[in-house]
Chains A and B, each alone.
Chain A
Amino acid sequence: MNSSPIAVCEDPDVHAGPALFSGLDSGPSLAAHREQYGDVPRISLADLTAAIDRTGLRGRGGAAFPFAIKLRAAADGSRRPVVVINLSEGEPASSKDSALARTRPHLVLDGAVATARALGAHAVHVVLPGDRPLTVAAMDAAIAERHDRRMRLVRHVASPRFVAGQARAVLELMAGRPNLPVTAWTPEAVAGHRSRPTLLSNAETWAHVGRLLHTGPPAGLGTDDEPGTTLLTLRLPGARVAVREVQYGASLRSVLPAKDDAAVLLGGFHGTWTTARAARRLKVSVPGFRESGLALGAGLVLAVDDCPVAWTQRIVAYLAGQSARRCGPCLNGLPALAAAVSAIDDGTGTARVEQLAGLVERRGACAHPDGTVRLVRSLLTAYPDEIDRHGAGHCSWTRQATVVRRLRSVAS
């Protein structure tokens, strides 16, 4: 199986930030956290819902789904809800959940615990990433520091696979079944773990809930439409992986290299390519990215100084191998799509790529095919000339590599 073209980084450079990343210097301990913020906030469901409504909080796992809708659905059920913190981020290139676990674990836990109390839940489930030992250890240490007999913290460890962190896959894991996605006939907020209403969000979302409940709405941060901040994982050529807390509305220019021939992948492996020139004009915004046909997704900003076509070929080959091989269109279509994206170098054009993209989209139990298609389509949109150049046997970045690959394919 193709391994990820980018290795997981659990030890990113983390700077102080205006909200979640404030007070980093005092460390991740419960004592320091209580010193900074005080006890777990007690809040009624009505007040919690009102506070969430005022900030328009969206999930930070990738889909940017409004948290208020999930919260209401979970609260409206007739059965006792379940709360889940999902730390099993599948995007190998993203480090924000690891950064939170290692620096602000109690902010994450407070957000979930306070919400669980407001909902009348008895347990918070913490789902940890199987391929990130430092993150698991950091959360375990934080869980061990807390003693709340009325709120159990139940830990689970997800498998090291790209789709293991998908919501339904997480519910399967919690139910003791294989950690793979299954078809969702109802949203998990309506019927999730053991058919109970299940409020499942990623670590960053819970950290924002925690911060909101402790300190109130993020005054003066972000824009009117999108208050507050978001975490970005920055991977820039020649620099250490970094996680930064930025305000909505901030320009991407400040975090990107000045080189115009850099290619930029935004969001994650399920994200979108753009040129450095276009990326520098962007402001950090979920709807703003959407209007430009881009995705903020899991908050990755990857700038590379080599060829985006070759990168996409490697990433799609990896993603094809990460299919849980359960759904026919995904298990057949993604390897075929990977082959078609590779074949761009042989001058076969992109018709087959587009055909396969249409064939796999929305035809799986999870959004893995859709995310893979988003990445591929964004390459076609952002780099049409480069694709033509590859078809003619050239590459603006690594002319030689393409020639070598062609010689090799002639020889074999």
Chain B
Amino acid sequence: MKRALRVDWPACHARGVCHELLPEVVDLDEWGYPIVGGEVTPELLGLAREAVRMCPRLALRIVET
């Protein structure tokens, strides 16, 4: 089982907290919205959970792929 971050797009307002916390997985596009790439590996899981908690719009979830 692999994990990935998924964005609730209507909720996300491009503050970029997720990118600051997890640059390994989250890049930002030219408008400041997250580009989620790649797997949330077990090593990154703690930071990914932190990003989910810290997102000001509660727009992130960790999903199993």
Q: Does A242 contact B (CB under 8 A)?
A: no
Complex alpha-carbon distance, A145 and B54, angstroms: 55
Question: What 1/0 flags go to B52-65 for Cβ under 8 Å of A?
Answer: 00000000010100
Q: Mark A309-346, 1 if CB is under 8 A from B, else 0.
A: 00000000000000000111110110000000000000
> Is B47's beta carbon under 8 Å from chain A?
no
Contacts of A359 in B (CB 8 A): 29-30, 35
Chain A residues lying within 8 Å of B30, measured Cβ to Cβ, are: 359
Please indicate the chain A residues that have their CB under 8 angstroms from the CB of B33 in the complex.
328-329, 332, 363
Query: Is there a chain A Cβ closer than 8 Å to B14's Cβ?
Result: yes
Q: Does A182 contact B (CB under 8 A)?
A: yes
Whole-angstrom distance from the CB of A352 to the nearest CB of chain B? Answer: 11
Per-residue A-contact encoding for B1-35, CB less than 8 Å = 1, 0 else? 00000011111111000000000000001111101
Whether B10 pairs with A185 at a CB distance below 8 angstroms is: no
* B interface size (C-beta, 8 A): 16
Per-position contact with B for A339-370: 1 when CB-CB < 8 Å, else 0?
00000000000000000000100011100000
Give the chain B neighbours of A330 by CB distance below 8 A.
9
Collect the chain B residues with CB atoms within 8 Å of residue A333's CB: 31
Partner of A328, one of B31, B61, B63: B31
Q: How far is the CA of A326 from the CA of B7 in the complex (A)?
A: 13
Contact of A332 among B7, B10, B31 (CB under 8 A): B31
CB distance from B30 to the nearest CB of A (A): 8
- Judging by beta carbons under 8 Å apart, are B31 and A329 in contact? yes
Does B9 contact A364, Cβ atoms closer than 8 Å? Answer: yes
Nearest Cβ in chain B — how far from A171, in angstroms?
14
Residues of A within 8 A of B13 (CB): 328
8 Å CB contact of A326 from B9, B32, B35: B9
CA distance A263 to B32 in the complex (A): 38
Contact A365–B10 (Cβ < 8 Å): yes
Tell me the complex Cα distance, A326–B35, Å: 17
Prevailing SS type, chain A contact patch? loop
Interface size on A, residues (CB 8 A): 16
Residues of A within 8 Å of B32, CB to CB, are 328
Residue A412 lies at the interface, judged by CB distance under 8 Å to chain B: no
Contact indicator A182/B31 (Cβ below 8 Å): no
Contact in complex: A365, B29 (CB < 8 Å): no
Task: For chain A, residues 183 to 218, give those with C-beta under 8 angstroms from any C-beta of chain B.
Answer: 183, 185
B35-47: CB near A (< 8 Å → 1, else 0) gives 1000000000000
Residues B31 and A363 in contact, CB atoms below 8 Å apart: no
Find out whether the CB atom of A363 lies under 8 angstroms from the CB atom of B9.
yes
Q: Once the chains bind, are B61 and A329 in contact (CB under 8 Å)?
A: no
A154 to nearest B CB, angstroms? 26
Chain A residues 145 to 199 lying within 8 A of chain B, measured CB to CB, are 180-183, 185
Please tell me if the beta carbons of B11 and A329 are within 8 angstroms of each other in the complex: no
On whether the beta carbons of B61 and A185 are closer than 8 Å, the reply is yes
Q: Given A328-B33, A332-B31, check contact A182 B61 (CB 8 Å).
A: no
Q: Let me know if A327 and B31 touch, CB within 8 A.
A: no
User: Assuming A359-B29, A363-B33, is B14 touching A328 (CB within 8 A)?
Assistant: yes
Contact residue among A181, A326, A329, A364 (Cβ-Cβ distance under 8 Å from B29):
A329
A365 partner, pick from B9, B35, B61, beta carbons under 8 A: B9
Q: Give CA–CA (A364, B10) in the complex, Å.
A: 8
Contacts of B61 in A (CB 8 A): 185
Closest B residue, CB atoms, query A185: B61
- Contact A182–B10 (Cβ < 8 Å): yes
CB distance from A177 to the nearest CB of B (A): 12
In the bound complex, how far is the Cα of B12 from the Cα of A182, in angstroms? 12
| B-side contacts of A328, CB under 8 Å | 9, 12-14, 31-33
Q: List 7 A-B contacts (CB under 8 A).
A: A326-B10, A327-B12, A329-B33, A330-B9, A359-B35, A363-B33, A365-B8
Given contacts A363-B7, A365-B9, list 5 more A-B pairs with CB under 8 A.
A328-B14, A328-B32, A332-B33, A363-B33, A365-B10
For the complex of A and B, list the 6 residue pairs with the smallest distance between their C-beta atoms, beginning with the closest. Answer: A327-B9, A326-B10, A328-B33, A332-B31, A183-B8, A365-B9
